[in-house]
Structure 1
């Protein structure tokens, strides 16, 4: 017999199972963070507080670009302290209303907070509908950092451009770099000025900064800063639309008009600070007419019923139009948020655990929110945390989900005021 030969086959790399185990091992070294995402009105804040009733050490980190600002609690729909059930909330109502607050600012404030929670063996739960904030947080590469790190873009350069007409500056940027212009808001004076300054100083096209390996990694799962568990809380569009309309009516009844009246400024720039919030600019025409009325009593609170029962047909029509605009713009926001989430899942590969809460919005659904929506999230999250060896979720403190007392409380692309 001849010599027996052994043949070894090489497949050119690790198997899919080996790759999965390797990536899981890498992720376990990172802190476990829960991210609750979804459109406006889907119930994100409520879910986060309910999760805190089951998992020890939960602390909520707000990722809503308008709720970070101080004031206008009704307009921005901040969860009131009575609804938080004692759960710590961070980055909620702490930024001055006149200040600009970017995704870079959010990231720089949120990271130390999350790291501190993790150092105390807590469980950070990031909650918000501002998806680009979340993308900036979980991914080490943030596109604005490239501009910040270029010495050519100096403070002096920016100050020279600060008095530029916004529309004129945007048109100029379109001529210089149409790709960059198409990816920012036409009224985003800060970025327009920065891009023009960069080009004037170095001759570089801003759009070129968003190419290469670093940019390719931005927002990708393989480049996450944390070991993230994503919950995408959603409902059907007709249900969300109906809920949005109901919520706007409740906000009006809860004093939205008086909040907006208190900060009304006829020369306000609706692309800066808290003035960007949906629920302010919509009432501009109404308050122009209201303050022009010599009979307007500025000493007393403004009641919707007083306006609707008055003899001023113009004011009544303007109020109804403003409320209609608020509802329409909020519905548009819902659609933008959902499109962005679809993109994060499809184009960026985010593992979003989709939870359909449609049935929980119906009165006849009874306790389906607790038994189905929260229950499913708890089961999924417990599995995730148990795979993360350093997590508290596998401790004996966690009993059966049904025995827990749950709270019953209630990439760079152009977009228009995501809110």
Structure 2
């Protein structure tokens, strides 16, 4: 795919200096382009298409694609589809380590400097928005905080929507959560008792710095995390977006394609009973979802009298053959449930990503230029993709480097009101009785939850049940 529509690459563009002559040249901030958006929107595709017109080098800002392994599950761009465009931080980190926001910042900054020194254009691409915040926000660029575990800053304050109802070790979770409550009850109120990853991050922060997480979040972090006025870089933010029904259909199709392309072999190879799914590559959506299936599958294979080794029943790359070869109906049901969970959790991820991008714009005033890929994705039309996504994005980047226009006017959200909103509501916990005592953190999450269709349905059923109970009670009194 050449991403044409504006003609071939122009020699005079490629010989110019996108970074303004290298880091800090002429006292100006280095310029970088950042492509954001929910999963499935086409961020990587856009970056490669821009390289047909500009001297692009891509720096991945995806918290799972940075790891080696699970290439199909994490949807890494295959080498033959990168079209010769250099990609950095793609499959370079050991799958067993925790690659924090700080680690990303420390890796990305020198890469960007190198790209600029080559007179090329750094394009940061990814859906992990806290990586992008770590790169552009002043707070994490303060080296005096390097001794701290910046993993606790892996989300926008108040925007914590992990799938924390998953509980793999209830006893261990309870112990660490109780410890956090003893140390910092305010911080403990902010997170779900089963969110082991966040609990450990808060405990590590306290152990290494002696600072209470709640005090840190309500202090300098809150004022600077997400602010880009004094950022190291001059940023052009482009968000590739699409409507939810189209993204949902695309996610369904993409997961099916992943299964056909060998996803089952990947999760089979990485499967390890009772492994820690809160660190490294095993955090990826699509790993835990298949654990129940793999546990029963391996047990069945080991007990099979017709099998001499596990290799005879090794998961096949084609899902149709896999389903046909499974020895029991139970396994077929478990496999289909795992695939459905994978799809569901990916759709949830899409919604979290969209919410976080909106908050970066409304709370912190990021100048984000949106390009709508809805028609291009739904119609699978190359022409629509070029006209509605590539061309507008290319014009934004050209204008950004020529300093002719502002990419997008600031959203009217005064700093003081945004900060006061977070300070007032960040640590408030809500419990929804109608939804099974679900815990919500912050007024914004509570309001979003109340507007959800599932909550409204449960509330309506609860009201009807209460009304029927009252009628029955009155009739019994008579």
TM-score for both structures, normalised by structure 1: 0.78
What's the CA shift for 1:120?
1.7
Aligned to 1:272: 279
Unaligned 5+ segments in structure 2 are: 1-24, 150-170, 405-421, 428-440, 443-478
Measured after TM superposition, the shift of residue 210 of structure 1 is 2.8
Aligned match for 1:77, one of 75, 78, 99: 75
Match of 2:75, SS state, is coil
Instruction: Tell me, yes or no, if structure 1 residue 236 matches structure 2 residue 252.
Output: no
**Corresponding residue of 1:328:** 344
Task: Give me the whole-angstrom Cα distance separating, in 1, the residues matched to 2:396 and 2:99.
Answer: 34
Residue in 2 that maps onto 1:133: 131
Question: Distance in 2 between the 1:71 and 1:230 partners?
Answer: 29
Q: 1:182 to 1:114 in 2, by over 3 A?
A: farther
Instruction: Give 1:395's aligned residue.
Output: none
Of 345, 358, 372, which aligns to 1:356? 372
Bigger mean CA offset, 294-303 vs 235-244:
294-303
- Conserved? CA contact 1:27–1:226, under 8 Å: no
- Map of 1:260 onto structure 2: 267
Following TM superposition, by how much is the alpha carbon of 1:194 offset from its aligned partner in structure 2, in angstroms? 1.3
Q: 1:143: Cα distance to partner? A: 9.8
Aligned to 1:33: 32
Q: Which residue of 1 aligns with 2:115?
A: 117
Q: CA deviation at 1:308?
A: 2.1
Pick closer, same or farther for the CA change 1:210–1:27 going to 2, 3 Å.
farther
Deviations 1:141-172 (A, max 9, x none): 13997765469xxxxxxxxxxxx944311222
Change (3 A) 1:214 1:39: closer
Q: Classify 1:364/1:46 alpha carbon distance in 2 versus 1 (closer, same or farther; 3 Å).
A: closer
Q: Is the 8 A contact 2:148 2:205 kept in 1?
A: no
Verify the 8 A CA contact 2:376 2:384 in the aligned structure 1.
yes
Residue 165 (structure 2) aligns with = none
Provide Cα deviations, 1:262-315, integer angstroms capped at 9, x if missing partner: 111011111111000001100000000010012365225412324422451100
Report deviation, 1:100: 1.1
> 2:451 is matched with which residue?
none
Distance 1:339 1:79, change over 3 A: same
State TM-score, norm by structure 2.
Answer: 0.69
Asked if the contact 1:68–1:95 (Cα under 8 Å) also holds between the matched residues in 2, the reply is yes
Q: 1:283 aligns with which of 272, 276, 290?
A: 290
d(CA) in 2 for partners of 1:29, 1:166: 49
- The 5 A counterparts of 1:373-388 are 373-387=389-403
Moved over 6 A (4+): 143-147, 411-415
Q: Is the 2:35–2:237 contact (alpha carbons within 8 Å) kept by the matching residues of 1?
A: yes
Contact 1:100-1:272 at 8 Å conserved across structures: yes
CA contact (8 A) 2:296 2:331 kept: yes
Structure 1 residue 221: deviation in Å?
2.5
- Corresponding residue for 1:346? 362
Aligned to 2:201: 191
Note if 1:174 corresponds to 2:174: no
**2-side partners of 1:145 and 1:331: how far apart?**
37
Look up the match of 1:222. Answer: 229
Preserved contact between residue 231 and residue 353 of structure 1 (Cα < 8 Å) = yes
Q: Does 1:247 align with 2:263?
A: no
For the Cα contact (< 8 Å) 1:69–1:97, is it kept in 2?
yes
